[in-house]
Structure 1
């Protein structure tokens, strides 16, 4: 897999094809960025990238338009991510494509996306009659944003992460709505919320909030930002258990929600936040 972000459809004029075109999907190897984080060999985490597609539409066999919401979960140990604009273009290629029902659509999505990610993905489709059952919710935990701090550095600074190594370990969950990073290719802003659950020496909260705000001018894809946060906290604060979960706002009808953990917490809830 030799695809690089600058070769992707991002930042380029694209023709929106409305007939099924799986070749539009643009995989990028995860290891390229993991090398920067010195992640080699066995991964120090497991997890998922949870994608929600709110603008899924196709034609039934009589030509009548159909709509649904799809959730696609790709494992963190898959070899590739899929560049988000190519994902959007791929989904739009169904707009004028006749598909013989939900099962056939789900099968196509699963096959194409598993091929692109390089590992089996899980696909669920919610039809309109079940939209009313979908619920919203915010990330749970103690808000870091309550603190009135002064900030003058807007690039990730791992040295800001400190912990109370001489005190008894704690178990706590911290959240912030102030996560912002920028697209690796276009520089466009990506807005998100992040939840950090851990067991270990108590993390100094002001430093953690400053660290998270430090992503504000940082250019990286969502999945890469979450892995950077995970690795920096793991190395600097040395928790015995750690989970990092980010919920990013949607772009082009897609939101991406990466989750990384090194202990069994169960799959995180896929609850759409107010900003999503």
Structure 2
């Protein structure tokens, strides 16, 4: 397999924006290995909107990606198909735009690799260069029968609450706590919908809030989740916005927020943010994934 002289460079300033990415544009699909297709987007621009100063992240976490359309040729030209699991640290300077990642994976289709381990090493190198931080990669050929688990969170589903809703842009003022003894609980909803920052296409997902502190008003939290319905932002940015809003409005002593978005283009994105170095949840799929 021929390889480029160097992996893709990662931008470090806000001068590279989503509008310059392949999103919403006609592209020619390439089937020969092309790491230059990866398009990093600096995280700091959106974090500035949330009042997060550079170098002072108020959370830990990662962006977990699952890739379902990954294939290459073995040394004899026979196709291999596999699943990929990618973990991009939240502290990385850049996120990776999803369509560019799809195009990048498509570029493996007619490229020959000696083994899945070689593909794993190449992908880890390229994504780490794009994100600006080490990215963990696991590649599992389907011939090895990798398991895939779907389940519901161990917590309280909010979606059955009978509420009136008239707000469809993020409104942190909706959030509030109720009087009562400190609790530790997990609340979740399947009613998360946001839209792509560039194309406006809908992104569907499940949002989970796990916290310790004064009881969060459940009806208020559900209204807040629904308020993202007409909001345009990337998956990672939405989860960071939820984390910051819940932290500021409800002031829990511990907080973890994650979302599992349905797949698009053979990829699903599952950001996780927590107030401490808490282990992220298992890679258990949401039923729509």
Shorter-chain TM range is over 0.9
Shift, 1:103, TM fit: 1.2
Q: CA deviation at 1:172?
A: 0.7
| TM alignment of 1:142-153, pairs within 5 A | 142-153=156-167
What's the secondary structure of 1:258's corresponding residue? strand
- CA–CA separation in structure 2 for the residues paired with 1:167 and 1:264: 27
Instruction: Indicate whether 1:100 and 2:114 are aligned.
Output: yes
RMSD of Structure 2 on Structure 1 (CA): 1.0
How many angstroms apart in 1 are the aligned matches of 2:285 and 2:183?
29
CA–CA distance in structure 2, aligned partners of residues 131 and 211 of structure 1: 40
Report the Cα distance in structure 1 between the residues aligned to 2:91 and 2:260, rounded to whole angstroms. 19
Deviation at 1:272, TM superposition (A): 1.5
Is the Cα–Cα contact under 8 Å of residues 139 and 194 in structure 1 kept in the other structure?
A: no
Aligned to 1:59: 73
Q: Deviations over 1:10-30 (max 9, x none)?
A: 000011000000000000000
Distance 1:167 1:160 in 2: 19
Give the deviation of 1:132 after TM superposition: 5.4
Q: 1:111 aligns with which of 125, 138, 151?
A: 125
8 A Cα contact 1:182 1:190, kept in partner: yes
Distance 2:133 2:89 in 1: 7
1:32 matches 2:26 = no
User: Aligned pair count?
Assistant: 275
Q: Is the 8 A contact 1:140 1:175 kept in 2?
A: no
- Name the structure 2 match of 1:131: 145
- Bigger fraction of residues in helix: 1
Find the partner of 1:74 among 73, 88, 91.
Answer: 88
Which residue in the other structure is 2:176 paired with?
Answer: 162
The aligned residue for residue 240 of structure 1 is 253
Once the two structures are superposed, residues 198-254 of structure 1 have per-residue CA deviations (whole angstroms, 9 ceiling, x without a partner) of 001111111110000000000000000000000000000000100001000000000
Superposed CA deviations along residues 45-96 of structure 1, whole A, max 9, x for unmatched, are 0001000000000001111111000000000000000000000000000000
> How many angstroms does 1:167 deviate by?
3.0
Does the 8 Å contact 2:170/2:228 carry over to 1?
yes
User: Partners of 1:60 and 1:115 in 2: how far apart?
Assistant: 25
- Structure 1, unmatched stretches of 5+, are none
TM-score normalised by the chain length of structure 2: 0.93
2:189 corresponds to which of 135, 151, 176: 176
Does residue 198 (structure 1) correspond to residue 211 (structure 2)? The answer is yes
Distance in 1 of aligned mates of 2:285 and 2:108 = 24
What displacement does 1:127 show? 1.6
Partners of 2:185 and 2:285 in 1: CA distance: 23
Tell me the SS of whatever aligns to 1:203. coil
TM-score by length of 1: 0.97
Question: 1:210, 1:53 → 2: CA distance?
Answer: 32
CA distance in 1, matches of 2:274, 2:145: 30
SS of structure 2 residue aligned to 1:89: helix
